[in-house]
C-alpha cells in the first residue's frame, strides 16, 4: 500500500484529446517551507497528439521559493505510429508568473484553445 502524501495533486481541468504526461504539481503554495515540492525538472506536462500541441512547466530556478512558474508551449511532429519525431519541436511561446493560479489558468486555456 502506498504512503499517503502530505499534499494532494493540484486539480486541473483537462479537455478531451489531451494526455497529461507528467504530473508533479501538488496543491500547495510555493514557500520556503514547501520548496522541495517544486524541485522537479517538470511539474506538469501534457500533449495532444492529434494537433501536435504540448507543454512543459517548471519552477525556475528549480525549487527556489522566490522563483517563477514557467510554461513552454510547443508543437511536435509524430510519425505514422504515433511516436514523436526527434528534433521536431517548435517553441510557440513561453509564459512566466509568480502566481500559481495564473499559471494553472494559462495551462488550462492553452489546452482549450489548441
DSSP string covering 77-99: -B-TTSPBPTT--EEEEEEEES-
Q: What is the pLDDT of residue 4?
A: 82
Take residue 30 and report the three cell numbers written for it. 510555493
CA gap 33, 20 in Å, rounded: 27
- pLDDT the model gives residue 50: 92
Average pLDDT over residues 7-33: 96
- State pLDDT tens for residues 77-105: 999 898 889 999 999 999 999 999 999 99
pTM above 0.85, yes or no: yes
C-alpha 29/C-alpha 85 separation (Å) is 36
53-62 pLDDT per residue, tens: 999 999 999 9
E strand or H helix at 72, and its extent? strand 68-75
d(CA 91, CA 36) in angstroms, rounded, equals: 28
pLDDT at residue 2 tops 90: no
Amino acid at each position: 500500500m502506498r504512503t499517503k502524501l502530505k499534499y494532494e495533486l493540484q486539480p486541473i481541468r483537462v479537455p478531451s484529446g489531451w494526455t497529461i504526461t507528467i504530473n508533479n504539481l501538488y496543491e500547495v503554495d510555493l514557500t520556503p517551507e514547501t520548496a522541495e515540492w517544486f524541485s522537479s525538472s517538470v511539474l506538469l506536462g501534457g500533449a495532444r497528439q492529434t494537433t501536435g500541441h504540448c507543454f512543459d512547466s517548471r519552477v525556475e530556478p528549480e525549487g527556489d521559493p522566490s522563483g517563477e512558474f514557467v510554461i513552454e508551449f510547443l508543437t511536435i511532429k509524430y510519425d505514422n505510429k504515433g511516436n514523436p519525431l526527434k528534433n521536431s519541436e517548435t517553441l510557440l511561446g513561453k509564459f512566466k508568473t509568480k502566481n500559481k493560479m495564473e499559471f494553472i489558468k494559462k495551462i488550462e486555456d492553452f489546452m482549450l484553445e489548441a
